[in-house]
Structure 1
C-alpha cells in the first residue's frame, strides 16, 4: 500500500491580456484568457517509510506541487491520494497569528493538523522541550526571530508522528544545532514508517535523508532516480549554457555518469597513482597519492580553471578544490594545447569506495562558464591495511597523553 500517490497532476493559472478581460469573460461567457501551466502531468508514488527529495530551480513548480499535495491548492487535472495523517512544514510560520502567543498558535496549528485539544495539551510539554524557546512560548509570535518560528512550527508538526511528513526549505532557516536535532527526529520517524517528502537545494540533505529524488524542470518531471544520479543531472542542468549539452551514460558498474559543457576544454585522462607512482584503484588509509589529469583545449580560451571533488559512495562531498583557489593561473590558452596537472595529497579518509568529479570552467565556479562537468570521472577504494582501527569518513590519528 502506497503512502502517497500523485496521479498525473497538472496546474494551470489563467492569464488575462488586460484588467478588463476578466470582466468581459464573466459577462459574455467567452474565453478571454490563456492558460499558463506551472505543472504538467506530474506522476509518482511514495511508499511507507520512503524518503523522496524534490529538487529544481526556482519556478520549477516545487512549492505548487507541495501545496496541491497538502490540499491548500487544487490541481487543474489529476488527483492526490494520501494514506494516514499528513504534517507539512511549507512556508515558515504559515498559519501562525503574529499577535497570538506561541502556545496559542501551537494549539491552533495542532488543530489544523488534525489533533484534538486533549492531544495537544498532552503534547505541549514535549513541544516546549523540543522547541527550546523558553519563556517566548507565552509571548506574541511577532516578537520571534525566523529561527524561533521555525523551531515552534517544526515542534508542533512533529509532536505526534505523522504518516507523511512534508518539509519545504523551512529547515534551512534554523541554526546548525536545531537542524541536527530536527534531522535526527526525521530519521527516527522514518525508522518507524513515516514517509518523507522534502524540498531542498542542499545536496547533502537530499543524499543523506532520501532514498530517491525527483527533478522538476518547468513543471515537468525531468528525472526520477537515485539521489546521486538526480543531483548530478541537476548540477549539469543549471550549468548548461546556450551551446552546452547534457549527456547521461550508464557505466559498466551500473552507475549513471553525467557529462555537460560546451566542450571547449575536456579532460582527456585522469589517473590515481600510489606512492610508487603506479596506477592504482586501491589505496591504504593515509597513503600519499597523486591525482594526475591531462587536459586538451578545443578552442582558444583566455582563462581556464580545473576543479575536482572527491565524493563517498552516497555522493556526499568529502573534499574539493580547484586551480583558482590553489593560486595556479591557466591563461592565454590556444586550441590544441595539452596541459597536465598533478595533485599530491594523503588519502586521509575512511575505508570505502570513492569517486572523483571534475570540472573545467572560468572563475571560481563551474556556473560561470561550463566547459566540461564530468561526474564519476574516476573511482577508487580506500582500505585499512596497517592503521589502528577507527570509524568515520576521515582519518585524524591523535596523540594521547594520560595523566594520573
Structure 2
C-alpha cells in the first residue's frame, strides 16, 4: 500500500469578481480575462496524509478549515494547486447538506448514499442498521423539514458511516448533537480508526483532537502555520486566540522534548514552578495519592488592576485532567504594582493514575485568558506519577472504592 492516501499540493482558493457573468464564463473556458478583485481564503497549503492516520484541523473562524474540506471532497473547485485522493471519502460537512427537506429520512438515505456511489440493493441491506443507529423513531419516515438540527445530524452521520470509508471527514456538525449521540459517534469513529480508516476532523474541542488524532494542522488566515503533534498545535492555537495588540507568542523546545508555547503581554510573568512533597522538597516523581504542594512564584512588571492565576494539569496527550483559577476560588489580587512578587501555594493529593503529566499556567485578569492575557505558559512543569503503594488499578484517576459483597 502507498505511503500516501491523500496528497495536497500548493492548494489555494480565491473568490474573484470578474465584473460580469460573461467574463466569468470566459475564464472557465480558459480565456485570459482580467478580474476586478480577488480574495484568497486559502493559499499555499501542502501536506500528505498516510493510510490510517488521523488528522485534526484547527483554527479560528474564517481560517479556511471548511473550505479546505470542501476542496478535498470535491464539492468546491480549487483556484490553484491539486488534491489527490487514493480511496473513498465519506464526509459530514454542512449540516443536512444534500438532504431534500420534502423527502423523508429514509428517502434521503437512498438519495445521499446513492450520490456516494452505492447501489440501491446495498443501501436497502444497510437500512436497518442506519435507522437503528440514528435512533429517531417514527421521524425516520417523516419529511426532513420537520427535523430538529440534532435529528438531521443523526441521520447524516448514520448514512455517512453506514459503509466504512477509506477517509472519513467530519466538520463541526457533531457539535449540534446531544451528549449521548456524540459519545455514540466518537465510538464509531474510534472503531473505524482501529479498522484502518483515515480521519480528518475539524473541531474546537482540544480533548477530541488530542484523543483522536496523530497530527494536527493549524490554519490561520488561510495559511498552514503549523503541522505537528496535537498537544503542541493546540497550545499554539490557544496562544493565537489570546494574542492581542501588545502580546507576543513564542515557541521553543522544552527539556521534555516537546514544544513549549508562551504567550502574553508580559505585564506579569511566572518566574518559578515547582512541586514539593510534605517535607518541602522538590520532587519530579510522585506516588499515587501522595499529598503535594504546587508552588508558583509570579513577578509583576506593570500596574495590574486585577490579577488571576490559573493552572491546568494535563496528561501526556495534552488533555486536561484538572484545572482551576483564583477567580473561581475567590482569591484574585487587586492593584498589583510593578516589581511586586507573589507566591502561590496550591495543596492537593496526587489522585491521578500512573503516567507523565504537565502543568500549564495562566496569568489573566478574569476567569479566561481571552480578555487580558498577561502570560500563558505551557509545559511550565513536567512530572511523573507512579503507583508505589496503592492497589493495582487502571485509568487516569485514583478513586479508591469501598466494595461491599453480600449474598443476594
2:9 matched residue in structure 1: 7
Q: Distance in 1 between matches of 2:397 and 2:99?
A: 43
Q: Is the Cα–Cα contact under 8 Å of residues 22 and 32 in structure 1 kept in the other structure?
A: no
For each residue in 1:132-180, what CA deviation from the matched residue of structure 2 results, as whole angstroms up to 9, or x when unmatched?
1111111111111111111111110011100111000011111111111
Q: Distance in 2 between matches of 1:26 and 1:388?
A: 72
- Corresponding residue SS for 2:100: coil
Task: Give the drift of 1:274.
Answer: 1.0
Moved over 6 A (4+): 26-30
1:227 matched residue in structure 2: 230
1:192 matched residue in structure 2: 195
- Corresponding residue SS for 1:380: strand
2:158 pairs with 1:155 = yes
Q: Distance in 2 between matches of 1:24 and 1:127?
A: 45
TM-score, length-normalised on structure 1? 0.96
Task: Give the drift of 1:24.
Answer: 9.5
1:38 matched residue in structure 2: 41
- Corresponding residue SS for 1:304: strand
TM-score, length-normalised on structure 2? 0.95
Please give the root-mean-square deviation of Cα atoms over the aligned residues, in Å.
Answer: 1.5
Aligned residues between the structures: 400
Q: Distance in 2 between matches of 1:297 and 1:271?
A: 19
Q: Is the Cα–Cα contact under 8 Å of residues 356 and 378 in structure 1 kept in the other structure?
A: yes
Residues 240-389 of structure 1: matches in 2 within 5 Å? 240-389=243-392
Q: Distance in 1 between matches of 2:255 and 2:344?
A: 27
2:20 matched residue in structure 1: 22
Moved more, 6-15 or 339-348: 6-15
Identify which of 72, 80, 83 aligns with 2:83. 80
- Corresponding residue SS for 1:324: coil
Residues 74-223 of structure 1: matches in 2 within 5 Å? 74-223=77-226
For each residue in 1:60-95, what CA deviation from the matched residue of structure 2 results, as whole angstroms up to 9, or x when unmatched?
011111111111110000111111111000001111
Q: Is the Cα–Cα contact under 8 Å of residues 306 and 333 in structure 2 kept in the other structure?
A: yes
Structure 1: unaligned runs, 5 residues or longer: none
2:398 pairs with 1:400 = no
For each residue in 1:327-376, what CA deviation from the matched residue of structure 2 results, as whole angstroms up to 9, or x when unmatched?
10201111000001101011111111100000001111111111100000
For each residue in 1:296-345, what CA deviation from the matched residue of structure 2 results, as whole angstroms up to 9, or x when unmatched?
01111111111000000000000000111111020111100000110101
The verdict on how the C-alpha distance between 1:267 and 1:8 changes in structure 2, with shifts beyond 3 A counting, is same
The verdict on how the C-alpha distance between 1:357 and 1:26 changes in structure 2, with shifts beyond 3 A counting, is closer
Q: Is the Cα–Cα contact under 8 Å of residues 24 and 32 in structure 1 kept in the other structure?
A: no
The verdict on how the C-alpha distance between 1:126 and 1:59 changes in structure 2, with shifts beyond 3 A counting, is same
